Every structure is written in structure tokens, then in C-alpha cells.
Amino acid sequence: MISVHNLVKAFPQKDGNAFYAVNDVSFNADDGEIVCLLGVNGAGKTTTMRVLSTVFKPTSGTAEIQGWDIRTHPQEVRNNLGFLTGDTGLYNRLRVHEFIRYFGRLYSMQDADITHSMNEMAELLDMKDFMDKKIEFLSTGMKQKVSIVRSIIHDPPVMIFDEPTAGLDILTARNIISFIRSCKERGKCVLFSTHIMREAERLADRIVMIHKGRILAEGSLEALREETSQTDLDDIFVYYVNQYSEDTKVEAHEF
């Protein structure tokens, strides 16, 4: 599972002040559950996920992945985590199966286990036709599938997907969404980010709304509808953004 406690990530600016990309964020995601981190571009979703994956060190606060603290046990966190981001690097000169096998070996997997997992993922993600192609000749959707397998070849219990369908055609996006559902069915803990309301509605057991680095609201779609008296998720999101803006104005006035 994922457990996040008062997570803060600040970046220094040229004027000497700090920009808080993530500001006091706390939430949980359990095994066998899909949790959506929902927010507009620049809300802090990617930064939060990079901190959880140990790419960034937190400024303050912490989180645990399967009980391992991201500050004190980063290697154990990485061993229990699959992290897909749009910045995942691919080696264009390698063939798909060579690239995946390389990363399997980095996770100290035996070749037989790599082959089994690779074949299973190729079947699930409809990749069999291009497993022997060089990565430089693949389409965007094909490369996204390769990135997914590269991230989860070691069969981790926790999956983090950062905008997994961004830039994909509708058929490939549907394929990725089906795969995310299959992760839940296999009892994995899934955290994914999106700014697409329809994806959150279709996939999430719980939605964590984030805006300007802060959590606006958290709960199931049904609970959020009940609390806001709104039906559509985009209206619910706007409701909480407006509430946040009003609260910010009050705080500024009081100050």
C-alpha cells in the first residue's frame, strides 16, 4: 500500500523564495484499490509521484510504500514499485524484447522469469507483433506499452501511473485502461494521475483532488457527489477549486 504523510516538495527560485509544488499532502492507497490523483496540469501530481518513487527527495514529510519509508529505505521502495512517467527513457537501438530483458536483469530477475513475465505482458497489452522490432521504429502507443512493461517487469505490488494515456489514440488508451483494471484485479495497489475527468470516473475507487500543490478533497465519486450536490466530476472539481479560492482570499484578508 501507499501511505503519504504531510508531504512537502519545494523548489528554490531565483528571487530566493521557494515554490511549493507539493504542500502538506496526505493520503492513502490500499492493496486492490485504484486511487486517482486528479488535477489540472501543474497541480503537483507528477511531483508527488516522483517523490513517492524516490526520484525527488521530499523537503519535509514522508511516505511509505509497502511499509518502506521513502527517506530511509529508497532501494526497498523501488523494489516494490513500478513507476510509469512520460519521461521514461527508451533505448532506440534495442529491440523491444532486448530492452525489457535488460531491465529485468537490473531487477536481478532470472532469465526464465523475465521471459515468462514478458510473454504474459505482451499478451495482455497486445504487443506480440512488435516484440522483435527496434524501439526507434515504434509508434507512440507502442512505446507507451514498452514503457509499461519496462516499469513492471519485476511484478511489483504497487503501481504508479503518471498520465498513462497522454497522447495516445483511443484504442491504445482503452488498452492501457484495461491493463490498469487488471492490476487491481490481481490485488495490486494502483495510483494514477490524470486531468481527464472521464478516466477518473471510469477507473477510480477513490479520487484525490489536488490543486496548486494542496489536496482539495478526497473520497469516492459517490461521496464527492453527495458532499457537493453535483453530478458531473468536472462540476465537482470546479466546486472545490472555487471553495479553495474563496478560502485563500479569506486567509489573505485576515493576514
Q: For the segment 222-233, what is each residue's pLDDT rounded down to a tens digit?
A: 999 999 999 999
pLDDT of 168: 80
State the Cα–Cα distance between residues 213 and 131, nearest whole angstrom: 39
pLDDT band at 135 (very low <50, low <70, confident <90, very high): very high
Instruction: Concatenate the DSSP letters of all residues of 143-189 into one string.
Output: HHHHHHHHHHTT--SEEEEESTTTT--HHHHHHHHHHHHHHHHTT-E
Residue 254's SS3 state is helix
Please state the rounded mean pLDDT for residues 88-114: 91
* Closest residue by Cα to residue 128 from 113, 144, 150, 146: 146
In the chain, the amino acid numbered 181 is R
Across the range 36-47, mean pLDDT stands at 94
pLDDT of residue 96: 95
C-alpha torsion sign, points 117, 118, 120, 121: positive
Per-residue pLDDT, averaged over 118-140, amounts to: 90
Lowest mean pLDDT among 102-111, 112-121, 163-172, 200-209: 163-172
Residues in the chain: 255
The C-alpha atoms of residue 177 and residue 9 are separated, in whole angstroms, by 29
- Residue 252: pLDDT band by 50, 70, 90 thresholds? very low
For the residues 183-204, what does the mean pLDDT come to? Answer: 92
- Average pLDDT for the chain: 91
Mean pLDDT, rounded, for 25-29:
97
> Residue 221: phi, psi to the nearest 5?
-60, -40
Tell me the mean pLDDT in the region 34-48. Answer: 94
**Three-state DSSP class for residue 38:** strand
User: What is the residue extent of each domain of the chain?
Assistant: 1-80+159-215, 86-155
The predicted model gives 148-158 an average pLDDT of 90
- Rounded Cα distance between 12 and 217, Å, is 27
Cα 187 from Cα 30, distance rounded (Å): 9
Q: Name the pairing type of β-strands 189-194 and 34-38.
A: parallel
**What is the share, in percent, of the chain residues with pLDDT greater than 70?**
95
In this prediction, residues 53-70 reach a mean pLDDT of 96
Going by C-alpha positions, the residue among 61, 1, 53, 50 that lies closest to residue 25 is: 61
Would you place residue 124 in the very low, low, confident or very high pLDDT band (cuts 50, 70, 90)?
confident
Q: Which of the four pLDDT bands, split at 50, 70 and 90, describes residue 248?
A: low
Q: How many CA atoms lie within 13 A of 51 on its CB side?
A: 30
Give the pLDDT confidence score for residue 253 in this predicted structure. 47
In the block, residue with C-alpha cell 514478458 = 118
Give the up-direction half-sphere exposure of residue 119: CA atoms within 13 A in the CB hemisphere.
Answer: 6
CATH of domain 1-80+159-215: 3.40.50.300
**pLDDT band, residue 173 (cuts 50/70/90):** confident
- Please report the pLDDT score of residue 247 as a whole number: 67
